Structure 1
């Protein structure tokens, strides 16, 4: 009650300072004069201040958005109980403006009655749908913390939304997010299950957790197949075909399942098994009812299959395919980063020269810093690290050191402590040949790590720090 009085007192004070009469303020706010008088001059219990009118007053007075919002929290509960007519628009505005403290205060009072959790979830979904997934996290966290039924669909969806919002460039945070969400993946509605499994598999790819990645790929293939069959059984029986409402076309989930499983096998050295799964997505034109988007996705998978077949040839030591693979990459620029990361690694393993390939693709290599999603950052890291080893073997120390420094910076960016340790060991091997500028860059990286604790330093001895 006290805060409600403060709001009205401050508004009247500012009206006077700005020279507003009641009639003038009524016109500026587009609030009927008699009602405006009741809102400002009578008992707040009888005339609570609607959120839309409060914002109109703030704007008319020239105050910044969110002015006196801390006081409006009590307005949401002025009758002793939460009033959704004020609570919901207030929370939506707080999410929009990043008023975390106000959100926390309202939620803590709302969930005194756990029946209000459904309201919290509905508001979370509205914030998310409005294009503000980070702003929705406090609401989903509230549901996750207080929902008592572990198999609740709203709990599973909340955990899924939290997982998606948490994913970023920090591998350790991504690992924690995946671990938290994993147990909820099969409790989701089907369309969320498909998206959730795909995101989990991609996350495990960036974490080099090939076992879990393969398991998620298996689940994705099985679920996509069931959904596909059910959709066409409905069509065959003349039942209405349900809208899937997924982020991607169904063929993407099916094809990605095979692609990810092939990758999991390839990363573990099971190349023939990997090739079998490549065959599984190389031609998906048999998918029924493909629209324009579906056809485009099928063509992409066909291209991926060609690229990944070249990749397997390289990994198996068939270096006579290098020229063909280089030509393929030259005509598919978006595949160059992925392809070169493989080529450099296999060149180191089998001891063949890739100088000509590096020269022919140099223009695309110069554009690698444009790719900054977590998967691309990981590929850039491995490319530069393995290129360092390639130049070290050739005796090209300067190029070795330059690429090592790039790999160290990328390790810090994505918080990859094991690759950071390998990069430090490689730099120390060449330290005596480093220029003063390179040594300064190296010290700067180490200092950043020490000050900001960006990676786990337990791998490193004190002499490096």
Structure 2
């Protein structure tokens, strides 16, 4: 006998309900309810939820039993399986989804439908549930070379990103071989996302390679754009010209990392020319304005990094007018100050309130993913610590250094961690008791020996 039917019958006996009474409470036709209890009629998800509520149990109470009875011990029927997955996802019952999907994907006849459900969940932001299905679908197709398998791997790559550099590197390397199997337009977004991850973990040679590949593929798509049917649905997240522009922006970041600022400026100038398109749509214009803002900021930034101290004041005005650029802007200002011994106390004082909101929930994330934002915060606090320590403002500097060191525990950024440890070791005699205690706590979190 079905466990669910057994629970229902016991509930009726315990409460002393007649079938008619319970059917009214559950709002289910008495004949239908009778057939469900006798086992001559399959129970639907809506009916299961109604019965669960009528019994005073929490929603989803019977989902695990239902999954075993309907999809594991019996041949699954898609008409019941699809709403079951959606309801489990809504209630965040991930273990149950995993248990059922692993069994169902043994039969590849449901692969198409399961992929569509994963896409639906992904579009609704139910990422953890979607990831379970993508992984099972990908595993069932691992010996094939289909576009669907590549799209599964793309979604898995997007959903697997964490704050850990090691995890993101592994996810990126695993995803790379599937890019060419994606639709040619979808490849543009995939390469952009891949390059962004490599940028966040500072693998600049990888960023260089994939940025140039993005530029090549974007230019190819642009050449054939005019030949497409006007009513053909665009598959890219953004207009095509933006991918060519963004590729050059990424290449400028590569040269910035290599401290070749004059070359970086040339690629900024190149992408500013790319965005000069005729008859832009409203969407185009919004992106053009954004690229121009980035371009203006980059020109100030690279000028500063080349030692042009006179650019600090106009750069601060630019940042004030574009508050989403405060974090990246101050990283550059601090880097130039540390390199050329500029005094930027007035800049730090001017933006003191905004800087105090860094690394809090009030900090606007803009277009940065969590991993990239974490990396930028580390860079900011390390540069701030270096600046304040050089000015002998040891208390402020060591506080900033400890924030940076703590952030490395989330990202597992070994290089930045070593830099922080070296700087702290050099000035640990200047730390007060509270800072020494905080340092010890961070070190314990990092599982490192104390100095």
Tell me the distance in 1 between the aligned counterparts of 2:245 and 2:89. Answer: 37
CA distance in structure 1 between the aligned counterparts of 2:7 and 2:375, rounded to whole angstroms? 54
> In the alignment, which residue of structure 1 is the partner of 2:263?
273
Query: CA offsets per residue over residues 322-377 of structure 1, 9 Å max, x none?
Result: 23223322332221211111121122222222222222232322222243633232
User: How far apart, in 2, do the equivalents of 1:177 and 1:287 lie?
Assistant: 36
Q: Does 1:391 align with 2:388?
A: yes
Residue 133 of structure 2 is matched in structure 1 by: 139
Query: Could you tell me whether the CA contact under 8 Å between 2:188 and 2:217 is conserved in 1?
Result: yes
Residues 231 and 241, structure 1, Cα contact 8 Å, conserved in 2: no
Cα deviation, 1:11-64, whole Å, max 9, x if unaligned, reads: 122234345432233333333221221111134xxx222222212211222211
1:104–1:327 CA distance, 2 compared to 1 (3 A): closer
Please say if 1:86 is aligned against 2:80: yes
Name whichever of 106-115 and 375-384 sits farther off. 106-115
Provide the residue aligned with 1:242 in structure 2.
Answer: 232
Which runs of no fewer than 5 residues in structure 2 stay unpaired?
none
**Partner residue, 2:208:** 214
132-141 vs 272-281, greater mean Cα deviation = 272-281
Q: 1:441 aligns with which of 415, 438, 449?
A: 438
Indicate if the aligned counterparts of 2:252 and 2:263 stay in contact, CA closer than 8 A: yes
For 2:383 and 2:73, the matched residues in 1 are separated by 67
How far apart are the structure 2 equivalents of 1:225 and 1:24? 70
Report what 2:28 is aligned to.
31
Task: Assess, with a 3 A threshold, how the Cα gap between structure 1 residues 393 and 130 changes in structure 2: closer, same or farther.
Answer: closer
By how many angstroms is 1:284 displaced? 4.7
Question: Which residue of the partner structure matches residue 374 of structure 1?
Answer: 371
- Cα deviation, 1:112-142, whole Å, max 9, x if unaligned, reads 3233322322222222223201211111111
* Greater mean alpha carbon deviation, residues 156-165 or residues 280-289: 280-289
Deviates most, 22-31 or 421-430:
22-31
2:217 is aligned, of 218, 223, 226, to 223
- Residue correspondence of structure 1 range 58-97 to structure 2 within 5 A: 58-77=52-71, 80-97=74-91
Partner of 2:402: 405
Task: Kindly state the Cα deviation for residue 78 of structure 1 after the two structures are TM-superposed.
Answer: 7.7
Matched, 1:205 2:199: yes
Q: Specify the alignment match of 1:261 in structure 2.
A: 251
Distance apart, 1:289 and its partner CA: 5.0
Name the SS for the 1:408 alignment partner: helix
Normalised by the size of structure 1, how large is the TM-score? 0.89
2:308 paired residue among 299, 318, 321: 318
1:8-19 matched pairs, under 5 angstroms: 8-19=5-16
Query: 1 CA distance for matches of 2:321 and 2:276?
Result: 27
2:164 to 161, 170, 176: 170
Distance in 1 separating the partners of 2:404 and 2:386 = 11
Q: Specify whether residues 427 and 65 from structure 1 end up closer, same or farther in structure 2 by C-alpha distance, changes over 3 A only.
A: same
Separation of aligned partners in 2, 1:15 and 1:248: 58
SS in 2 for 1:368: coil
Instruction: Give distance in 1, aligned partners of 2:296 and 2:279.
Output: 25
Is the contact between residue 281 and residue 302 of structure 1 (CA under 8 Å) also seen in structure 2? no
The verdict on how the C-alpha distance between 1:38 and 1:341 changes in structure 2, with shifts beyond 3 A counting, is same
- TM-score calculated relative to the size of structure 2: 0.92
**CA distance in structure 2 between the aligned counterparts of 1:160 and 1:309, rounded to whole angstroms:** 34
In structure 2, the CA distance between the partners of 1:130 and 1:340, relative to structure 1 (3 Å rule), is closer
Cα 1:285–1:109 shift into 2, 3 Å: closer
Correspondent of 1:182 among 171, 176, 182: 176
CA distance in 2, matches of 1:159, 1:429: 46
Once the two structures are superposed, residues 158-189 of structure 1 have per-residue CA deviations (whole angstroms, 9 ceiling, x without a partner) of 11111111123222222222122121122112
Contact 1:114/1:146 (8 A) holds in 2: yes
Long gaps (5+) in structure 1: 451-456
Taking the aligned partners of 1:424 and 1:77, their CA distance within structure 2 comes to 54
Residue 300 of structure 1 is matched in structure 2 by 290
Q: Which residue of 2 aligns with 1:454?
A: none
**What is the SS of the residue equivalent to 2:163?**
coil
Cα displacement (A) at 1:283: 4.5
Judging changes above 3 Å, is the alpha-carbon distance between structure 1 residues 407 and 101 closer, same or farther for their aligned structure 2 residues?
closer
